[in-house]
């Protein structure tokens, strides 16, 4: 029987542009781009998800070691393989598009391994909301965050960077003001300082594109008796490179 060999594509040729794109990764929207586009990794359909739940139940009722039990588990495995194939295909196509279109691709830096760690805990110290955390872990892994970045880095060597994730979703991409109250909802961002309004994921991706990430240092102000105290981190303003010469403190 003849065996096929996978052909590894060569890295994409860099485009003749220095355009930078920022990518904010999420569960609702797999990849929000700083140019306003929103890309979603294909998931199982509603009907397919129902089948994933149905077949294990049937397998559990089937006699131990029976052909029916084996067949039901095989059906689930085929559905999971179909989902993985769609995810891989999407990551390949999306990473190729990013490598061929943009001179520099910046990703929000995420520790996916820690984010998807089980909350089950131990017998002595059981975890909390284990079922909810397991569902979130499955949703994260289904997005293909790690594979998308890995394939983009392979196709655009030297043109992929990671930007620290903290505060990218709370920082205003127009003025640099950081306030947790500016993030009105999953989709809405309204700066509490300058009034700038934007889709929350696009705003975060814009900050990633500008390299504006990480935890800012709290400013310190003189308190009673000359002692210095740190200002609240809920509202912090940082200078933006796009507004050179305008003091923001």
For the question of residue 67 being annotated catalytic, the response is no
From 24, 72, 153, 179, the catalytic residue: 24
Residues 153 and 155: their CA atoms lie apart, in Å, by: 6
Beta bridge partners of 108: 163
Q: Check 72, 83, 153, 201 and give the catalytic one.
A: 201
Q: State whether the Cα torsion 27-107-144-97 is positive or negative.
A: positive
DSSP string, 77-109: HHHHHHHHHHHHHHHHHHHHHHHHH-SEEEEEE
Pairing of strands 38-39, 20-25: unpaired
* Selected catalytic residue, list 72, 83, 108, 153: 108
What is the C-alpha separation between 159 and 59, in angstroms, rounded? 48
Q: What are phi and psi of 21, to 5 degrees?
A: -120, 135
Pairwise CA distance, residues 21 & 149, whole Å: 13
Neighbours of 178 (CB within 10 A): 23
| H or E stretch at 150 | helix 145-155
Annotated catalytic residue 24: yes
179 catalytic, yes or no?
A: no
Q: Which residues are catalytic?
A: 24, 108, 201
């Amino acid at each position: 029987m003849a065996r096929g060999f996978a052909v590894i594509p060569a890295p994409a040729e860099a485009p003749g542009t220095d355009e930078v794109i920022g990518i904010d990764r999420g569960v609702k929207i797999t990849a929000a781009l700083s140019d306003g586009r929103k890309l979603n990794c294909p998931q199982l359909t509603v009907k397919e998800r129902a089948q994933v739940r149905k077949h294990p139940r049937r397998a559990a009722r089937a006699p131990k070691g029976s052909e029916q039990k084996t067949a039901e588990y095989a059906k689930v495995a085929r559905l999971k393989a179909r989902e993985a194939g769609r995810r891989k295909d999407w990551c390949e196509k999306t990473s190729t598009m990013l490598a061929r279109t943009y001179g520099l691709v910046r990703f929000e830096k995420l520790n996916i391994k820690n984010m998807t760690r089980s909350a089950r805990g131990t017998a002595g110290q059981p975890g909390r909301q284990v079922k909810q955390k397991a569902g979130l872990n499955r949703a994260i892994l289904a997005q293909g965050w790690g594979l998308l970045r890995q394939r983009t880095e392979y196709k655009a060597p030297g043109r992929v960077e990671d930007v620290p994730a903290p505060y990218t979703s709370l920082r205003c991409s127009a003025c640099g003001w950081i306030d947790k109250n500016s993030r009105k909802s999953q989709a809405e961002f309204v700066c509490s300082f300058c009034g700038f309004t934007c889709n929350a994921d696009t705003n975060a991706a814009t900050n990633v594109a500008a390299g504006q990430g990480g935890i800012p240092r709290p400013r310190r102000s003189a308190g009673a008796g000359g002692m210095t105290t740190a200002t609240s981190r809920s509202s912090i303003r940082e200078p933006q490179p796009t507004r050179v010469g305008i003091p923001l403190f």
